[in-house]
Amino acid sequence: MNTWTNNLEPTLIKQLHETEALWHLALTGGGTSAIGELFAAAGASSTILDVQVPYHESALQRFLRTSQSQGCNRITARAMAVESFLRAKELMPGEQVFGLGCTAAIATKRKRKGQDRCYLAVQGEKRTCSVDLIFDKSTTRETQETECRKAILYLMARESGIVMEEIDELLTTTCEADLAWQDLLMGRSTTTECPEDLTGLMPGAFNPLHDGHNQILRKASEVLDGPVALEISIKNVDKPTLDYLTMQERAKQGDNLRLIFSNAPTFQEKAQAFPGVTFIVGIDTLVRIQEPRYYENIEARDDALKIIKNQNNRFLVFGRKINGAFQTLDDVKLVPGLRELCTGVDENEFRADISSTELRSD
């Protein structure tokens, strides 16, 4: 066993229960023995708000409010931490709350291709902290579980304000958020920037940002005859909320591009946040805007389109390769309330077949 696990202060949990920090925990695959230790000591009710163990994949997807598969990696741990934080904030608004996510793949009877490992993350109002713990495969499941537990308790104590020594075995990455990012996550603002000079805004996840995006932005700026920017909503309809580290990673991709983060997952909300702006979209995104499954009913969809129109927003539509065929605005059937807001870019003027999804799969 790593010596650092033996050096943790035996009264650490008692100290933790004496802080003002309140915690929501989400653990899967390992680290669950930390729950017993936290509740075995008097004072747990002053520290723990809720504990979730979404062990089955479908349970984890439900917890994260997504249909996408989640692997044992730091992205999943951070998503779990953010969801835990948001739930804690909802339970105790105005208090010092934290969310912790832990996903682990510890020693098992089954043959595993990758390393035995544990990823931890803590989300607070001011920062995201991520920890990687890689295990020696020669160690037992019990030993690895102990290290998971100790790492959880160490991280909770440190983020709660208890002075802790740095531990080399815990590979730690932290992002201290500026006030604009904090306001966005806490729901105090809708965007990190409210520009009046923009003519076009290109929404997306940009995971990753690639040359096709750059080409589209240049063409859009030419067509619209004005400045354009990228926009990433930290909250999405079918994806986990972004943490500060992920926001930092996305921002670094476009050092030479203007990037705005928002709290506006739908185009109705984007229109209210960015009135008068033309949204730069692919034909696949445009078609989804009219799909009833994203609304309570058809009337709600039509009302959303009216709001977009009343906010003086439009859509500049680029073609995309879909199911092997390149499609443009002229190739799809749209409801009148959406079609009247669109201007298409012809394939002869512009075509780029690069996809972020394909790049991730490579």
Domains in the chain: ranges and CATH: 3-176 (3.90.950.20), 185-361 (3.40.50.620)
Per-residue pLDDT of the chain (362 residues; tens, 9 = 90+): 466 677 676 789 999 999 999 999 999 999 999 999 999 999 999 999 999 999 999 999 999 999 888 899 999 999 999 999 999 999 999 999 999 999 999 999 887 778 999 999 999 999 999 999 999 989 999 999 999 999 999 999 999 999 998 888 899 999 999 999 999 999 999 999 988 899 999 999 999 998 889 999 999 999 999 999 999 999 998 899 999 999 999 999 977 889 999 999 999 999 999 999 999 999 999 999 999 999 999 999 999 999 999 999 999 999 998 888 999 999 999 999 999 999 999 988 888 876 655 544 55
The encoded tokens of residue 225 equal: 């005859």
- Give the pLDDT confidence score for residue 359 in this predicted structure: 42
Of residues 89, 94, 98, the one with CA closest to residue 121: 98
The encoded tokens of residue 276 equal: 């008068």
Judge contact between 311 and 272, C-beta under 8 A: yes
- Give the pLDDT confidence score for residue 112 in this predicted structure: 77
- Give the pLDDT confidence score for residue 169 in this predicted structure: 86
CA pair distance 4, 166, nearest whole angstrom: 10
Judge contact between 26 and 102, C-beta under 8 A: yes
The encoded tokens of residue 79 equal: 């998503």
- Give the pLDDT confidence score for residue 357 in this predicted structure: 58
